[in-house]
Amino acid sequence: MIVYFRGMRTRDDDKQTALFEATIKVVNDIGFAASSVSKIAKEAGVSPATLYVYYKNKEDLLVSTYIDIKQDMSRELLVGFDPDGPLRDIFKQVWIQLFEYIAENSSCFHYAEQFANSPYSQLVNTQEIERYFEPLTQVLQHGIDQKIIKNVSFDILKAFIFYPVMMLANPKHCQNFDSSPENIETAFGLAWDAIKF
Amino acid sequence: MIVYFRGMRTRDDDKQTALFEATIKVVNDIGFAASSVSKIAKEAGVSPATLYVYYKNKEDLLVSTYIDIKQDMSRELLVGFDPDGPLRDIFKQVWIQLFEYIAENSSCFHYAEQFANSPYSQLVNTQEIERYFEPLTQVLQHGIDQKIIKNVSFDILKAFIFYPVMMLANPKHCQNFDSSPENIETAFGLAWDAIKF
Amino acid sequence: MIVYFRGMRTRDDDKQTALFEATIKVVNDIGFAASSVSKIAKEAGVSPATLYVYYKNKEDLLVSTYIDIKQDMSRELLVGFDPDGPLRDIFKQVWIQLFEYIAENSSCFHYAEQFANSPYSQLVNTQEIERYFEPLTQVLQHGIDQKIIKNVSFDILKAFIFYPVMMLANPKHCQNFDSSPENIETAFGLAWDAIKF
Amino acid sequence: MIVYFRGMRTRDDDKQTALFEATIKVVNDIGFAASSVSKIAKEAGVSPATLYVYYKNKEDLLVSTYIDIKQDMSRELLVGFDPDGPLRDIFKQVWIQLFEYIAENSSCFHYAEQFANSPYSQLVNTQEIERYFEPLTQVLQHGIDQKIIKNVSFDILKAFIFYPVMMLANPKHCQNFDSSPENIETAFGLAWDAIKF
DNA sequence: GATGAATGAGTGTTCATTCAT
DNA sequence: CATGAATGAACACTCATTCAT
């Protein structure tokens, strides 16, 4: 066991955070294709070489950033999640929280979308990501068993519950959509009509 | 020695087509970020310099390719479009044609998605693109007026009719979805339930 | 068949030569380890990017340069080669020509030595290189058969005929050696005494 | 917490040795060009910064390692050296010991060769190195005076006694040479024939 | 003494684009 | 029209070295 009577220079959490945020900002500003390690480092206020202290390489930087976002997103989505409540309420809560997450973290969300559309996406273990969202899948199955939700494949259900939110909450796609609580509720109404038995 | 006959095409349509297809192929194979003018030219079987005869620069190449795809897509979508038929049938037909277009032209569709997610998308006149799909908007409005379709904003309606298809038809997102006619009909059922009054 | 009624820009032989010479000069001046593509390009008076028009990459540059030197060296060595003359005369002529080649092309020779001592050497087909010198091997065998030369392995014979020349002709190793015709003849005497039956 | 006892070594000899060995290993494994301070430090199991406690800089590391090897080599060469025995026996013994040293310490030897071929070699005092081998030079002179050895310059003699060994003992150059005692004796025979009066 | 963090300067290589032909 | 040659600028990444601890 090594004990230091005088500590060495330690890794700087601020720098890690700065790099994380810079990655998202740069990618959102100029796009995945044009984002370079040097631009991200400059945005973070560190030397490009420093970036390699915190990340193995560009791929690691982009992939780690994506995974961190996805983890954070699933956490936000499932705040106050209660699998024993009424199904419609569960989904409404998740739906609204997803909407709010996207609206409030639009840059993170957009980064994740760009990442998922890039060839880097093949480098992440999709199953691991999906595990974050497993509680939702279980509730869906429960709804199907109780004949509350249509007995169609998960892919179809997800396509109607979550995909439209992503569009509506993203000002890039829906500039006209006014995200007042009423409008969000209205939109959820359509989602529920789609999947309910 | 090349001899020019009268009426001979000076700009070679074959080359233009080759470049169009090469652009999509390369972008889909290696991603937006890694796609370079030289790789696209090589894939098309022409010199990088020749590419500049047909396109002003890289941006022009990418943007033009996107617009061409979108035009073609709207054309396919609206084949046999009859605004006077029953509303549900109209949408069903468009829905299925959209689905088939994506399934059959997945590389074009994927290119368009990557493009739309890139900052290049800011360079295209979105209104012009939307005009291609205007007949659909008119039918939507008609349905609302007749109380066949929910009286909510176009953005919400579109988010539930078209966005889910894009997810379902894209094998990258839905590997498990079996696109048999029955499944497609089932999925359309959810879309209709969502928007119908 | 493509016929150009107006030619395109053609590859510049001067540039190729300049790159060849620059490679040798730089490597000899600062060593294999410190030699970089940019330094070689600068020495040749071209852009680093231009270098990649003529060579696939750094490895190709270094390996091609080595092979070119070796080919040239074997050509010089075998000038006036007559396998039917007296054995001692054959070897004396080759020995002297090797000596002169090394003395006159010391930079090429030194490059080749550095290359052979580098890990890049594993990338060249040694057999192909040795084929250049095959006439000598045949004469050696002939000498052994006729009991003019000691019946020992080729490796030993080569080690005593050619390796000492490389040392003597190389001013880096033998600063004191005066390469007058008499001294060269004397040195050859030792080589012949070593291998003669 | 580290506690210093009285008389405790401050500079760690183990670390010095580890660095010496790591330098040779890394250079032999990946070549002079690719060898970096960090890789050597990692191989030695210390921090790059620690390396600078033992060596002034990279140059010092490489040069010191070379000198250490050369010293060790001369020591091995002259084991049991008796200037009063028969000349042929003296040289035979040295020759065989040189051969064995190279065969047994091929990595050290190869490092030394690479170093000698690099521009770093200009940084070492060659005369100091040669002094290690002075006993041999004296014996040579003695042989010349007694007309046992040809009266030619030292450079020529050395070129025929020692250079061929280096070639034969180096498997990189002579893969086919079987270093059995008989073969080594045979090879020495050629060396002796070359230099003997 | 020993260390991981930090970095400016450099690496090999590819880029989008222009040029002469 | 069509081309291969040519390049400055950028790329991802590693370097030898220093610094604070």
Q: Does the CB of B32 sit below 7 A from strand F?
A: no
Q: What is the mean pLDDT of chain B?
A: 87
Give the pLDDT confidence of D14-73 residue by residue, as tens digits: 889 999 999 999 999 998 989 999 999 999 999 999 999 999 999 999 999 999 999 999
Question: Could you tell me the distance in Å between the CA of residue B49 and the C1' of nucleotide E18?
Answer: 9
Where on the phi/psi map is residue A69: left (φ > 0), alpha (ψ -120 to 50), or beta?
Answer: alpha
Task: Quickly give D197 CA vs E2 C1' distance in Å.
Answer: 60
Q: Is the confidence at residue A111, as pLDDT, over 80?
A: yes
Asked whether D and B share 3 or more beta-carbon pairs under 8 angstroms, the answer is no
Nearest CA in chain D to C165: D159
Chain E: positions less than 7 Å from a protein CB are 1-21
Q: Does B1 touch chain C (CB under 8 A)?
A: yes
Chain A residues closer than 8 Å to D1 by CB: 3, 5
B2 and C CB contact within 8 Å = yes
Shortest Cα distance, chain A CAs vs residue B8, angstroms: 39
Residue D189 has pLDDT above 70, yes or no: yes
CA distances from B138 to A40, A177, B74 (A): 45, 19, 15
Q: Which of residues 89-118 of D touch strand E (CB under 7 A)?
A: none
Mean pLDDT (whole number) for A104-120: 90
| Predicted pLDDT at C176 | 79
Q: What is the pLDDT of residue D46?
A: 94
The arithmetic mean of pLDDT across residues A168-174, rounded, is: 80
| Residue B162 pLDDT class (50, 70, 90 cuts) | confident
What is d(CA C30, CA D33) in angstroms, rounded to the nearest whole number? 12
Neighbours of B49 (CB within 10 A): 10
A52 contact to strand E (CB, 7 A limit): yes
pTM for this structure?
0.89
D158 near C187, Cβ under 8 Å? no
Q: Which of residues 37-96 of B touch strand F (CB under 7 A)?
A: 46-50, 52-53
Q: State in Å, rounded, how far the first CA of chain A is from the last one.
A: 62
Query: How far apart are the CA of C155 and the nearest CA of chain B, in angstroms?
Result: 49
Predicted local confidence at residue C119, as pLDDT: 87
Measure CA to C1' and name the residue nearest E14: C49
**Contact D8/A at CB under 8 A:** no
pLDDT digits (tens, 9 = 90+) for B41-97: 999 999 999 999 999 999 999 999 999 999 999 899 888 888 888 999 998 998 899
Amino acid D10: pLDDT: 54
- From the C1' of F20, which residue's alpha carbon is nearest? A9
Per-residue pLDDT at B8 exceeds 50: no
Q: CA–C1' span, C4 to F3, in Å?
A: 9
Residue pairs between chains A and B whose CB atoms are closer than 8 Å: 117
Q: What is the pLDDT of residues D66-92, one digit of tens each?
A: 999 999 998 998 898 888 889 999 999
Q: What is the pLDDT of residue B10?
A: 53
In whole angstroms, F6 C1' to B35 CA is: 21
Mean pLDDT, contiguous 10-residue spans, chain C (197 residues): 47 87 95 94 95 95 95 91 90 91 92 90 87 88 93 90 87 80 90 92
Average pLDDT on B13-17 reads 86
Query: End-to-end distance of chain B based on CA atoms, in angstroms?
Result: 70
Q: How far apart are CA C93 and CA C82, in angstroms?
A: 10
Judged by C1' against the alpha carbon of A54, the nearest nucleotide is E5
Protein residue with the closest CA to the C1' atom of nucleotide E18: B49
Rounded, the Å distance between the CA of C83 and C1' of E11 is: 49
- How far is CA C138 from each of CA C106, C190, D17, D143, rounded to the nearest angstrom? 27, 22, 49, 36
Q: What is the pLDDT of residue C162?
A: 84
Cβ atoms of residues A152 and B178 within 8 Å = no
A15 touches strand E (CB under 7 A): yes
Phi/psi at A149 (5° precision): -115, 145
Helix or strand or coil: residue D66? helix
Band of pLDDT at residue B149, cut at 50, 70 and 90: very high
CB pairs under 8 A, 24+ apart, for A57-61?
Answer: A59/A120, A59/A123, A61/A19, A61/A23, A61/A37
With cut-offs at 50, 70 and 90, classify the pLDDT of residue A1.
very low
At residue D11, the pLDDT reads: 66
Contact, A83 vs A90, CB < 8 A? yes
- Nucleotide nearest C33, from its CA to each C1': E11
Local confidence band at B11 (pLDDT 50, 70, 90 cut-offs): low
R_g of chain D computed on alpha carbons: 20
Buried b (16+ CB within 10 A) or exposed e, C103-132: bebeebbbbbbbbbbbebbeebeeeebeeb
D133 confidence band (pLDDT: 50, 70, 90): confident
- CB contacts < 8 Å between B and C, how many? 4
- The residue length of chain D stands at 197
- Per-residue pLDDT tens over the stretch A21-56: 999 999 999 999 999 999 999 999 999 999 999 999
CB atoms within 10 A of CB C156: 23
Give residue B182's pLDDT: 87
- pLDDT confidence bin for A178, thresholds 50/70/90: confident
Q: Residue written as tokens 């519950």?
A: A161
pLDDT tier, B152 (very low <50, low <70, confident <90, very high otherwise) = very high
